[in-house]
Structure 1
């Protein structure tokens, strides 16, 4: 049979309450006592049930992280940094890969709430019913990568609409006249597209052309996008991509077709991935400090778990446009 807390206490020669205190916060127990308890736990193979008995009032030390996709994801650096920080703080991570849409995401949120996690970190979209459920719960909810107008709880993100505006102004300053937008159909891409279109309308009378692709975007999408661009009556002189992956694919397609970058067509990516600075020509991109985002997110969670007041519950970490050879 599985070992119980009482078994650990008996083997260590202490009371069950002392074992509970050790499991909740090890530094409140004498060092030698802690060593005996740890040895008993290891000998018996005891796994504490943090939601039962004397530990019912303790924190679960579980953090749920929702992410739509992991492969070719701009969230990769942020997620890795957050997991490392959380593990260093003696917290465990439940990672939910939910894909596009609300259904799987909503199921993951409900599962996380049922397990009494200390916090839920959200990188994707959440349905209205689940938003209401999260708001009515006592669980800390942290939305990252966005600055939503009506946040559920805490926010550490960036303004994607402003990113689109900045790219439009950048291209106009560089003298480009016929931009083409190539983005996926996600909410963040739509905000950048809208910001770009609105800013470009103020800068030029030439309309913006666009190609929309399904989520998640793949390297192979670049071939379809480039083919569409070549069929346009007036070819663009700049392509604004929803990711560095697309930008890299389009750069390869242009070079294969003998189209010079940036002399004949400029390319702008998003995410400032490693490959953006290693391609030839190097790719102009938008840089988001994923490590900073992770640190701010963990700081907020630690404050909330400790019962401290968070002075600024919505943080915009900003972005940088890094001009390289492709534009």
Structure 2
């Protein structure tokens, strides 16, 4: 006969406490005395007991599962934010279901449906849900939905992010103050990149500058796009003095290609990125970029989830802001 799985009663008997005390320790260890908790923890390890999360979810109406949906993770600007969120969620006793929706979000509806079918407590989005029918389904699903990395005027539920248009405007002001006069934009074909580009162009021309030239590239951003973008500068009527890239990956590739051609960055051509990825500070020259505090986004997400679990009201739009990090490339 196969040995049965250890049960809660087995842990309680070994620790010399009631089953209710073991349950309290598992769900809220801070409410159990330290010595008692140590005995229970030792008994769990000795018996090999594994909590029945499905049964707990039925009893509490909470699955303790969170779905995090991101377009991609290869060379993604979302990675630091997602890692921080998973760490925070796991430390709070949640399991995280990470799903990739694709650069163009072609799997978004499917992954949302899968998450809802698994009765997750919350869905965290980094991509944009543009389909109104899908937005309405999320609104009526009875789960917390948190849109991150953007700040829509009409969130599905809660938005934790920043204004991409304002980020573009701020980069325009920064470069004008630095004395640049002929910007060229490399814009990934995405809604948010387009908002940043629009903000940049509007601010730049409002302040008296000529309309910037631009090159649109496919998503997701990658190193090779930067190299190709540098070569495309030769097709312009007038060479720019600064290239504003839609991601740090594009900026990195452009800088490498420029240096290979004997161009000094930033003396002969300045370059900026977006996302402030770790490699932006490791490049030579280091890359001027727009920084978004991914760890703060994660903390705000956790604050929303904890407030909802406690039945408290939460803000629907939480602006975490951004900042331009001035480095050697511009």
Q: Same fold (TM over 0.5)?
A: yes
Q: CA 1:37 to 1:259, structure 2 compared with 1: closer, same or farther past 3 Å?
A: closer
**Are the counterparts in 1 of residues 228 and 254 from structure 2 also a CA contact under 8 Å?**
no
Q: What is the alpha-carbon distance in structure 2 between the residues aligned to residue 277 and residue 188 of structure 1?
A: 24
Structure 1 residue 131 displacement after superposition:
1.0
3-state SS in 1 of match to 2:174: helix
Q: What is the alpha-carbon distance in structure 2 between the residues aligned to residue 260 and residue 54 of structure 1?
A: 60
**Are the counterparts in 2 of residues 119 and 139 from structure 1 also a CA contact under 8 Å?**
yes
Q: CA 1:54 to 1:41, structure 2 compared with 1: closer, same or farther past 3 Å?
A: farther
Q: Name the residue aligned to 1:212.
A: 216
Q: CA 1:18 to 1:250, structure 2 compared with 1: closer, same or farther past 3 Å?
A: same
Q: Name the residue aligned to 1:202.
A: 206
Which of 69, 85, 90 is the matching residue for 2:88?
85
Which of 258, 263, 267 is the matching residue for 2:267?
263
Deviates more, 1:269-278 or 1:110-119: 269-278
Is 2:93 aligned against 1:63?
Answer: no
Which of 141, 147, 167 is the matching residue for 2:145?
141
Q: What is the alpha-carbon distance in structure 1 between the residues aligned to residue 202 and residue 271 of structure 2?
A: 20
Q: CA 1:3 to 1:196, structure 2 compared with 1: closer, same or farther past 3 Å?
A: farther
Q: What is the alpha-carbon distance in structure 1 between the residues aligned to residue 317 and residue 194 of structure 2?
A: 22
Q: What is the alpha-carbon distance in structure 2 between the residues aligned to residue 237 and residue 33 of structure 1?
A: 64
Q: What is the alpha-carbon distance in structure 2 between the residues aligned to residue 136 and residue 283 of structure 1?
A: 44
Q: Alignment RMSD, CA only?
A: 2.7
Q: Name the residue aligned to 1:272.
A: 276
Structure 1 residue 64 displacement after superposition:
0.8
Q: CA 1:34 to 1:307, structure 2 compared with 1: closer, same or farther past 3 Å?
A: farther
Q: Name the residue aligned to 1:226.
A: 230
Q: Structure 1 regions of 5+ residues with no counterpart?
A: none
Q: Structure 2 regions of 5+ residues with no counterpart?
A: none
Q: What is the alpha-carbon distance in structure 2 between the residues aligned to residue 28 and residue 216 of structure 1?
A: 47
Q: CA 1:16 to 1:244, structure 2 compared with 1: closer, same or farther past 3 Å?
A: same
**Are the counterparts in 2 of residues 181 and 208 from structure 1 also a CA contact under 8 Å?**
yes
Q: Name the residue aligned to 2:293.
A: 289
Q: Name the residue aligned to 1:98.
A: 101
